[in-house]
Chains A and B, each alone.
Chain A
Amino acid sequence: MITALGHWIIYRILDLSDLVGIILQACRNLPVTLRIGRRPVFTVFLKQVYFTGFEALKVVIIISLTIGVVIITQIISLVGAGNETLTGKVLVWVVIRELGPLLTAIVVTARSGTAIATELGYMKINNEIESIESLGIPASQYLIMPRIFGVTTAVMILTVYFEIASIFGGFIVASIGWHVPFERFSEGVFASLTLKEMGMSVAKSLFFGLFLSAACCKQGLGVGKSATQIPQAATKGVMQSLFLVFLLDGILTVVSLL
């Protein structure tokens, strides 16, 4: 039992170091890309932002509006309708600090994480990755780097949309259900919305985006010669991404309190 646990921990640490290596490699490739390969790599980046960010916007907005409605209803049922400062504080804490980056990362993992792992796995099986490298184009520069930065950019932008829509959804319910005026509601929200809260949200979405995309890229590239490995890679990519997102969320939350 202890041996198995030890193996599992060692495996996770090695896995994490691999992912850190992939992310650092992507960062190292950035200045190289400015000199050579800028145009095609930027095209891949833009496509990734479009598929991950723009196409997921509708889903994220619907989820965030619903979450805003649920949270504000729960807060008002707990503290009553007259306490806008506390309502705003709890809304900011819950949405900006936690749920915004977390749920956005989960939606992106479910939509784009699987797509990335599947696409790279398919390319690996069909020798397309070797075909790209045979042209003297490193796969890490043309395929991996723009996907990692594209997903990360999309997660960060989607998180902002999520948070705005959540607060807006909360206001709509508070306004219709409890006749809370916009001025008082926004006062409560803005009083709690400090630079630290926003910085934490940005830091979380940045780390979530980097690690979830690196995990899915790694699983996709790890596909061997069998087609059955493609869905396995997608499943592993999603599970690993979710594990990392929750782990990083815990670490960053604890660090922010120190």
Chain B
Amino acid sequence: MTAATDTIRAEGLSFDTLPREVSFTVEQGSVTIVLTAKEEIDACLVRLLLGFARPAGGRLFLFGTDISTLTDRGLTALRQQIGLVYASGGLISNLKVWENVTLPLAYSNRFSREQIEQMGLAVLDRIGYIGKLMALPGHITLFQKRLAGFARTMLTDPDMVIYESPLSGLNQEERSRFLSTASDFHLEKAGRTSLFLSSTPEIVPLLKNARVITLSQGQLP
């Protein structure tokens, strides 16, 4: 059983790209960096945390529930609590940038078109997105894709945000801007957990007060 204050608890977790077992916890409301040996592990961890892949060994608890016990419907409900910012942006290639950003809001059926437009434009303005909104994702830069993916996550107001390889492919200025927005967003909701999965150690000084877990060194405190 996982403690009530742990958003994530991994017990003896092992998978293809990380054969050595790892155990760690991510506390609710914390900013945690999981340092990995390579980006491939970040992607693999994302798949495990969202229930797209099963670990080779061990157990993984999210919000107190062993995710291997969840049905498809349970996994869908769990994913609605989590915001994921993919390294590639995670945008759908046949939807325009604007449609990508507002997709979760339109899907939720909770807001009118006018409200969605207002909320979408506000969040894009806030994160400083200056690219084309009616272009397909193939026509914008990686940073713009990342920002659009982040805007989409912000609109869902999740309890936990996972950032996959957040520094990958960005220059120094883009990194600072992105992490600064992520830090501000973390503080906006009480109890929100922010998990940064990164293979770049330069992220540690950029995120002050973050707890660091180094997966490449095996068993963790």
Q: Do A and B come from one complex?
A: yes
Could you jot down 7 A-B contacts, CB within 8 Å? Answer: A37-B107, A128-B92, A133-B79, A134-B90, A135-B104, A138-B76, A142-B107
Q: Is the interface of A mostly helix, strand, loop or mixed?
A: helix
Within 8 Å CB of A39, what residues of B?
106-107, 109
Asked if A98 CB lies within 8 Å of chain B CBs, one says: no
Report A197-216 residues with CB < 8 Å from chain B CB.
Answer: none
Interface readout for B88-112 with A: 1 if CB under 8 Å, 0 if not?
1011111000000001101111000
Docked-complex contact B104 and A137, CB < 8 angstroms: yes
Q: Please give the residue numbers on chain A whose beta carbons come within 8 Å of chain B beta carbons, in ascending order.
A: 35-40, 119, 122-123, 126-128, 130-138, 142
Please, which residue of chain A has its CB at the minimum distance from the CB of B94?
A119
Docked-complex contact A137 and B103, CB < 8 angstroms: yes
Asked if B185 CB lies within 8 Å of chain A CBs, one says: no
Docked-complex contact B90 and A127, CB < 8 angstroms: yes
Within 8 Å CB of B79, what residues of A?
133-136
Contact of A36 among B103, B108, B152 (CB under 8 A): B108
Asked if B50 CB lies within 8 Å of chain A CBs, one says: yes
Docked-complex contact A138 and B72, CB < 8 angstroms: yes
Please, which residue of chain B has its CB at the minimum distance from the CB of A37?
B107
Asked if B176 CB lies within 8 Å of chain A CBs, one says: no
Docked-complex contact B104 and A136, CB < 8 angstroms: yes
Please, which residue of chain A has its CB at the minimum distance from the CB of B92?
A128
How long is the Cα–Cα vector from A38 to B91 in the complex, in angstroms? 20
Docked-complex contact A123 and B93, CB < 8 angstroms: yes
Q: How far is the CB of B126 from chain A (nearest CB, A)?
A: 20
Q: How far is the CB of B208 from chain A (nearest CB, A)?
A: 28
User: Known pairs A40-B107, A134-B84, A138-B72. 14 more at Cβ < 8 A?
Assistant: A39-B109, A40-B103, A40-B106, A123-B92, A123-B94, A127-B88, A128-B92, A131-B86, A131-B91, A133-B76, A134-B50, A134-B52, A134-B82, A136-B104
Please, which residue of chain B has its CB at the minimum distance from the CB of A38?
B109
Q: How far is the CB of A135 from chain B (nearest CB, A)?
A: 5
Interface readout for B53-67 with A: 1 if CB under 8 Å, 0 if not?
000000000000000
How long is the Cα–Cα vector from A38 to B80 in the complex, in angstroms? 17
How long is the Cα–Cα vector from A128 to B136 in the complex, in angstroms? 14
Within 8 Å CB of B216, what residues of A?
none
Within 8 Å CB of B47, what residues of A?
130
